[in-house]
Amino acid sequence: MAALDSPKARRELVIDTMASWALEDMEPTPEMVKDIALYVEGKISTAEIIAKVKSGGYRD
């Protein structure tokens, strides 16, 4: 099993999350897709993404 903070583990979490969104007929914005890629690469944290969502980011 990959470490929880490894790129492989982050990628698997993103796949699961996006599959869940698809089941709810939701799509990420282009900006969110860019940030998700940065998260998988380990360049930003989930805390940073959550803060952006709370501040109204990612709205079309």
pLDDT in tens, 31-51: 999 999 999 999 999 999 999
| 20-58 exposure pattern, b = at least 16 Cβ within 10 A, e = fewer | eeeeeeeeeeeebeebbeebbeeebeeeebeeeeeeeee
In the prediction, which pLDDT does 1 show? 47
Cβ–Cβ < 8 Å for 18, 28: yes
d(CA 25, CA 11): 21
The torsion angles phi and psi of 2, rounded to 5 degrees, stand at -75, 150
pLDDT at 2: 56
Could you tell me the pTM of the whole model? 0.80
Q: Is the pLDDT of residue 4 over 90?
A: no
